[in-house]
Amino acid sequence: MIDKYIEIAKSIDPSGSGSNKKCYIFDDVVLLKGSFVNKGEEDLIRQQRIAILKNNGVHVYNILDRAVVNNTRYELQERAKGEELFLTKFSLNPVEEQKFLERLDDLSRKDIPFFVKFLENWDKILQTGLDVDPSKSTNFFYDGENIGFIDLNIANNYERRRPWMLREAGIVLSGCGLVWRCKDVQPEAQERVKIIFQKLGQAGLELGENIDEFIEYVDKYNTYGLKEYFGKGYSR
């Protein structure tokens, strides 16, 4: 199955690229191409854990096939539904700022069960022994109803890291660490970020006693604001 897409990828430009890998997006699947060494058994474990999560109702996307060709590793995955949660550009034009605000507005209007489900799904991912890199909102997809998770990797020390990882989840969903990019809609964006955090708190996320101070630290340091706000216990 994967051979067909590897052959097509030879004659087209990648849709995107990241650390040590390129991405080719097709209608229903995504082909990842990397120069890193094949991880063998670890890849199989990751594939099995992702399948378990999907069977338990978490919006993750199965690994369909893998191959190593000329020391290059390929992986074929289901394509995520929806679109990236937020644009991650360092600067936004007025149209992009408005789209960012509209996304925050949409999320801020969600009922509490939406936030409970998001936190529960992230927790299920951690309990299954996987992790999502929260530094990239491109690892989170939104279809208007659900948050999907991509680029899952093997993780350890779940119990020790859980409180910090759940707070990082809240930072991702709120868009808090991205508000600084806005020039024209920053006050409105900050207002919606606060609403999202308030609803995350009602959904069970521990944010400390002063939510305004917490947001201020996150806005300044992004996820590393957790270390500044909560102390030395923060660790990825």
* DSSP string of 8-76, one letter each residue: HHTTS--SEEETTEEEEE-SSEEEEEE-SPP-THHHHHHHHHHHHHHHTT-----EEEEEEETTEEEEE
Q: What average pLDDT does the segment 175-179 reach?
A: 81
Q: Is residue 235 part of a domain?
A: no
Does 236 reside within a domain?
no
Quick one: CA dihedral 30, 35, 41, 46, positive or negative?
A: negative
Give the domain range for residue 222: 83-230
Nearest by Cα to 108 from 191, 179, 187: 191
Higher pLDDT residue, 221 or 163?
Answer: 163
Residue 107 dihedral angles phi and psi, to the nearest 5°: -65, -40
- Quick one: average pLDDT of 206-222? 70
* Mean pLDDT confidence for 153-182: 80
Same domain, 12 and 44: yes
Backbone CA torsion sign across 74, 19, 100, 188: positive
Report the pLDDT value the prediction gives residue 133, as an integer from 0 to 100: 78
Confidence at 230, pLDDT banded by 50, 70, 90: low
If you average pLDDT over residues 109-135, what whole number do you get?
A: 91
**Of residues 173 and 163, which shows the higher confidence score?**
173
pLDDT of residue 219: 66
Pick from 46, 78, 110: which residue ends a domain?
Answer: 78
Same domain, yes or no: 116 and 69: no
How buried is 162 (Cβ within 10 angstroms: 0-12 exposed, 13-18 middle, 19+ buried)? Answer: middle
Pair (114, 14) in one structural domain: no
Count of the separate structural domains present in the chain: 2
Residue 228 has a pLDDT of 54
Answer with the residue of higher pLDDT: 216 or 200.
200
Whether the per-residue pLDDT at 72 is higher than 50: the answer is yes
**Residue-level pLDDT at 221:** 57
- Residue 203: the pLDDT is 93
Please report, for the domain that includes residue 32, its CATH number.
3.30.200.20
Eight-class DSSP state of 85: S
The residue with greater pLDDT, 223 or 115, is 115
Indicate whether 125 and 215 sit together in one domain: yes
Instruction: Kindly report the pTM of this predicted structure.
Output: 0.85
- Written as one string, the DSSP assignment of 120-185 is HHHHHHHHTTEEE-TT-GGGEEE-SS-EEE-SEEE---HHHHHHHHHHHHHHHHHTGGGGGG-SSS
Upper half-sphere CA count for residue 195 (Cβ side, 13 Å): 15
Q: Are residues 206 and 156 in the same domain?
A: yes
- Tell me the mean pLDDT in the region 135-150: 89
Same domain, 209 and 132: yes
Whether the pLDDT of residue 95 is over 50: the answer is yes
Domain assignment present for residue 22? The answer is yes
Cβ pair 119, 112 in contact under 8 A: no
pLDDT tens by residue, 18-30: 767 889 999 999 9
Q: Are 49 and 129 in contact (CB under 8 A)?
A: yes
Say whether pLDDT at 199 is over 70.
yes
- On whether both 71 and 113 belong to a single domain, the answer is no
Residue 154 lies in a domain: yes
* pLDDT at residue 121 greater than cutoff 90: yes
CB 26 within 8 Å of CB 79: yes
Which of 27, 43, 78 is the endpoint of a domain?
A: 78
Q: Which residue has the tokens 């699947």?
A: 29
- Alpha-carbon distance of 162 to 42, in angstroms, equals 22
Q: Which of the listed residues 42, 61, 78 is the one where a domain comes to its end? A: 78
Out of 113-122, 132-141, 195-204, 218-227, pick the least confident: 218-227
On whether both 91 and 73 belong to a single domain, the answer is no
In a shared domain, residues 54 and 89: no
Q: Are residues 119 and 217 in the same domain?
A: yes
Q: 89 in a domain, yes or no?
A: yes
| pLDDT tier, 234 (very low <50, low <70, confident <90, very high otherwise) | very low
